[in-house]
Amino acid sequence: MAWRHRSPITGVWACYPCPVPSPSPTIRRIAHLDMDAFYASVELLRYPQLKDLPVVIGGGRANVAAALEVLRQQAAEDAPELEWDAAAQRAALRRIPIDAFARLADYTGRGVITTATYAARQFGVGSAMGLMKAAKLCPQAILLPVDFEEYRRYSRLFKSIITEIAPLMEDRGVDEVYIDFTDVPGGQREGGRVLARLIQKAILDATGLTCSVGVAPNKLLAKMASEFNKPRGISIVFEADVPTKVWPLACRKINGIGPKADEKLKRFGIETIGQLAERDLQWLMDTFGQRTGAWLHAASHGQDDRPVVTESEPVSLSRETTFERDLHAVRDRAELGAVFTRLCEQVAADLQRKGYVGKTIGIKLRYDDFSGVTRDLTVEQYTDDAKTIRQLAGQCLKRAPLQKKLRLLGVRVGALANRADLPGLIAKSALQAVDSAGAAPELIAVNGELF
């Protein structure tokens, strides 16, 4: 038997042999699939002339737009009868001269890198790094604009290919998923390598994109394994491999251990997962709290019983922006107020478009020294109203220090529920949203501190 798939991009049918089920006993096999430098790889499909060059994503569109205009004028002169439609423009992108692209060395501003090609990463450039800092490390890197619509399109494509082969898939973002291989034909063969290879090839044939796959007994180990052989790698981990493949790794390799937890572990001389596994369960609970300590003990031994969740509701929706220059709450009040209002309107539009309402409104601030705070407020009734969100988020701002200049501002709505499930429980105003036993919110700036 064979599995056939038609590429949504090329329209070409491809035929793949179905993996033969393994006669060996079934054991739990969970895969973590991570697309390789996803955003950058999608851009290289559009600009193949940039292959193997250092490229970072996060710039503006001016250079590309100017180069396209030059090509449009040339086309109008050479073949005026041809239409300059979307197909012609896509073809023209592949002909843009390398010298026409923006260079990181010429960038000025406050932007950050969304992602970078592996050629750029060799210079120490990576995601979330400031573009100005990256310019010092790799000034020759080519700077491309972000195109989230295109990334989402390719995200839907590769995920649809996966679910045709292995239907139990958990969506973890635009470029990564968990897949339950356990009962899928080929999911047990060579520990899951046969099925992983099939999925890799199907995605590559249909999209031109590569991915890395880790297969293990659970999600925790699978996510670690997917990083072992990037790019285009397949890594297989069994429970017996934990001492040799996992314990030598730094504690930060455990998904869930962040910088603060890692710093605390290091103060106790714990730098590797193996050193963490040597610690007594009771000591970990006494030191980090009962719940966190128990989780650290289980994670260090490669234990994780979380299922692959095929459908899930979002916990919150948010919008945020990083300013081109640092803004002060008093001196730049008008500008900040306009941005704040726009963010609230965008979050409200997201809620309405997706059919959600929420009753926890929060703000996120990052200061010019890169420190940050969050504040939130939970009210009695749900809302998806922009004005209500704006008013309640303003109350959160009153509880945040605003003496330092701001680098980033964000608005979040949490405790979400489906709008259709809550008739009569949705607030139309901030006054209606707050608990009737509580005080009405003050909606106007006090002492010039709020915007």
The catalytic site residues sit at: 176
Report CA-CA distances (Å) from 161 to 4, 27, 37, 156, 171: 11, 24, 19, 9, 13
Please state, in angstroms and rounded to a whole number, the distance separating the CA atoms of residues 386 and 238. 50
Task: Cite the DSSP H helix spans in 100-252.
Answer: 118-121, 131-137, 148-165, 193-207, 219-225
- Please report, to the nearest 10 degrees, the dihedral formed by the alpha carbons of residues 266, 270, 276, 281 taken in order: -80
Please state, in angstroms and rounded to a whole number, the distance separating the CA atoms of residues 118 and 51. 10
Please state, in angstroms and rounded to a whole number, the distance separating the CA atoms of residues 31 and 176. 11
Question: Six-digit token pair at 288?
Answer: 């980090």
Q: What are phi and psi of 107, to 5 degrees?
A: -80, 140
Q: Which helix (H) or strand (E) holds 173?
A: none
Report CA-CA distances (Å) from 252 to 306, 308, 425, 448: 20, 23, 43, 43
Please state, in angstroms and rounded to a whole number, the distance separating the CA atoms of residues 376 and 397. 9
Question: Contact at 8 Å (CB) between 168 and 180?
Answer: yes
Please state, in angstroms and rounded to a whole number, the distance separating the CA atoms of residues 125 and 181. 34
Burial class (CB in 10 A: 0-12, 13-18, 19+), 259: exposed
Determine what percent of the chain falls in helix, strand and coil, rounding each to the nearest 5. 40, 20, 35
